[in-house]
Amino acid sequence: MNPNQFNRRARRAAKKMGKKIGRPPKPEEIKKMKVQTVPVWAQITLIFFGGAFIFFGAYAQLEHESTWTCLILSLIGLAFMLLGVFGKKKTVEDVASTVLDQSVDVAVEVILSPLKLLDF
């Protein structure tokens, strides 16, 4: 994940949090906020592979009447799909130090700067 993607996702999450609580979020709340860290292409790939595993599990059941193969493939497919849909979320505090070349406080200010212009 590059810094632009992280900033965009963090700003969207902060805006959503601000609308939910009815005011601009505080810097402490931004630091604890969770942001999606899995790239979109990886999410789409996981969803595709999950669907393929579920399809082949159903095919194994229908054509070969293999219940165990169907169950195993379908569970693997379900796990891939859930990981693709929900991804892996980390706090801004954890991600800012690894993704950005800035400190956490500077990253929080960058995330909060466009939110100060919005009315909640």
Q: 67-120 pLDDT, tens per residue?
A: 999 999 999 999 999 999 999 899 988 887 777 666 788 888 888 888 776 665
Burial 66-89 (b: 16+ CB within 10 A, else e): eeeebeebbebbeebbebbeeeee
Question: Which pair of tokens denotes residue 69?
Answer: 């193969």
- Of 53 and 108, the structure prediction assigns the larger pLDDT to 53
